[in-house]
Amino acid sequence: MRELFHDQLDAMFADLAGICRQVETAVGLATQALMTGDAAIAEQVISGDIEIDRAREAVEETAFSVLSLQQPVAGDLRTVVSALRMVSELERMGDLSVHVAKIARLRVPELAVPVEAQPTVSRMGEVAEDMVRRVSQIITGRDVEAAIALGRDDEVMDQLRRKSFTELLSDDWAGGVEAAVDIALLGRYYERIADHAVSVANRIVFVVTGHNPSALPLE
């Protein structure tokens, strides 16, 4: 019975990593749609979100089944509850990718991001995609060290967000009010994807160690 239980836990974490890979694809495609003005790619992200939702429901069903039938205690209970929280955050990351894609689709046939802001916004998309990719690896390997490192590296996204605001408030900004609003929203969406990635990584630390990452040494 215990072997079956741990097989279920392993399968649940494999599913979480799979959802993470789906989100990684969504982030990358959403950024591509944004930078190219490709409505078909934007639609692919938007319509594909239902698959992430279904995968989340499957993880939730497994978790609730484990809770009701196996009655886990201590560390095992911590693992199941953390999985439920992680899958919710992963789904939200997918939703944020949809928000990015919708901005791209809204401005077709024009680009939502003016030329002068494209390097910063494109870099935000790259950083967000990389962070999601690393979270998938962290989940698969239950890698505490990599999870803590991801939390430190989140500062890169924060710096990019500040840079985007500096560009918007510059006297040289010629993109207009509509583009400024779009970029402010995009910055928020990418920043939140990164925040959720860090939160999921922190939950892996908690699953493995039983401690919040802030309580662990950072050397």
Per-residue pLDDT tens over the stretch 136-145: 999 999 999 9
pTM of the model: 0.92
C-alpha pair distances (Å), 199 with each of 63, 93, 148, 207, 210: 19, 11, 10, 12, 15
Mean pLDDT for 12-17 is 95
To the nearest 10°, the Cα dihedral for 207, 6, 65, 213? 0
Name the pLDDT band for 67 (thresholds 50, 70, 90): confident
Q: What is the pLDDT, as a whole number, of residue 218?
A: 39
The domain covering 2-215 belongs, at the CATH homologous superfamily level, to: Phosphate transport system protein phou homolog 2; domain 2 (1.20.58.220)
Q: What is the pLDDT, as a whole number, of residue 6?
A: 76
Q: How many CB atoms lie within 10 A of CB 104?
A: 30
The first and second tokens of residue 135, run together, are: 């979270």
* pLDDT tens per residue across span 164-214: 999 998 888 888 999 999 999 999 999 999 999 999 999 999 999 888 776
C-alpha pair distances (Å), 167 with each of 120, 127, 163: 9, 19, 6
- Which single residue is written with the structure tokens 């429901």? 57
Between 75 and 38, the more confident residue is: 38
Element (H, E) at 180: helix 176-209
How far does CA 64 lie from the centroid of its chain? Answer: 23
Q: 120, 102, 97: which is closest to 112 by C-alpha?
A: 102
Q: What residues contact residue 38 under an 8 Å CB cut-off, 6+ apart?
A: 32, 104, 108
